[in-house]
Amino acid sequence: MSTIEKALNRLAGGTPQAPAPRPPMSGKSQQPAVELDDPDALRIDRDMLFSAGMLVPGMGRSLIAEEFRHIKRPLLSNVLGTDGNSIPNANLIMVTSALPGEGKTFSSVNLAISIAMEMDHTCLLVDADVARPSVMRTLGVYRPEAKGLVDYLSDERLHLSELLLKTDIPKLTVLPSGRGDVHATELLASESMRRLVQELSVRYHDRIVIFDSPPLLATSESRVLASLVGQIVVVVEAEKTQQAVFQQAMSLLDQNKYIGLVLNKDRRVRQTDYYYGYGVSDKK
C-alpha cells in the first residue's frame, strides 16, 4: 500500500497507531534566548511558542521534539544522499496543504526550528505565503515594516543579504514575506523567483531552506514553487480534510518528487493537540 493510500485510510477512519502520552505543559518555558552579537537579531517569543504547544529550543526532550525529529530525518537524509538518492534541489523543502487552516505554518516553523538544532545544518525559513503571511506572527515577532520576499522579487536593486533576518535561535534565519503588493502572488511564478530558488539551492551547501507555501488549491503559484523545490511536505488535517480535496491537491504535484505527508490534529490517536504521521510517496 502506498503512503498516499495509507494517509487516505487514516483520514477515512483507519486503524490508528498506539498513542504515546504527551508530557503535561504548565507554566512558562523559562528558556533563555541565546545572546547574539547582532543587536538587531529577532528575539523569538519562546513563551508564546511554548503556550502554543510548539517546539522550543533548549527545552530538552519532549513529544513534539521527537515528532519533528521523525519528520526531518528522511528530509535530511535526502539532502545528504545517505540512502543513495540523488534529488535535485533536495535542500529546498516546501511545506504546503490543500486548503488554508490545516496547520502548514505551524509545521513549517516547527520543522525549521528542529533543523536549526542540527549540528551540521543551518536553516532559512521563507514566508512564501505572500497573500496570508504568518511566519513572523507565529514566531512571536511582528515587523510590518520589514522588507522580504515580495520586495526582493519586485525590486532588482535589493540584495538578498539585506533582507535575511537573524534570530536568537542559532542557525535559524528568516526571510519575511515582505510588504504587500497587488501582484504578490504572481511574483511567486516569476523568473525572479526561479533565479532566487536557484541561488538558495547552490549558495550555501549546508543550508536547508523551508518555504511556508500557499495552499495548493488556493493559488496556482504554489504549483510553480512545487516544481522548483526538491522536496514537498503536505500537511493534512485529520477529520477535516476531505479525501476528494486531498486527492485533487496531490494530483497537482509531480509524483516523481519526494512528497512527505504530515497528519495534523489527529485527536483519535492521541489525547493531545497535535499528532504527526509522516511518510514519503514512492518515487517513480
C-beta separation of 90 from 205 below 8 A: no
Give pTM, 2 decimals. Answer: 0.82
Residue 280 has what pLDDT?
41
Residue 276 has what pLDDT?
42
Bridge partners for 126 per DSSP = 175, 211
Tens digit of each residue's pLDDT, the chain (284 residues): 444 554 444 444 333 333 333 333 334 444 444 444 567 788 999 999 999 999 998 777 788 888 899 999 999 999 988 766 678 899 999 999 999 988 999 999 999 999 999 988 999 999 999 889 999 999 998 787 889 999 999 998 999 988 999 999 989 999 999 987 777 778 888 899 999 998 888 877 679 999 999 999 988 888 889 999 999 999 998 777 888 999 999 999 998 889 999 887 665 544 444 444 443 444 43
Residue 120 has what pLDDT?
87
Q: How many whole angstroms separate alpha carbon 54 and alpha carbon 46?
A: 9
CB contact burial 51-66 (16+ within 10 A = b; e otherwise): ebbbbbbebeebbbbe
CB contact burial 250-276 (16+ within 10 A = b; e otherwise): beebeeebbbbbbbbbbeebbebebbb
What does the domain layout of the chain look like in residue ranges? 3-9+38-280
Considering the domain 3-9+38-280 in this protein, what is its CATH number? 3.40.50.300
Burial class (CB in 10 A: 0-12, 13-18, 19+), 88: exposed
Q: How many whole angstroms separate alpha carbon 232 and alpha carbon 210?
A: 10
Q: Which amino acid is present at 219?
A: T
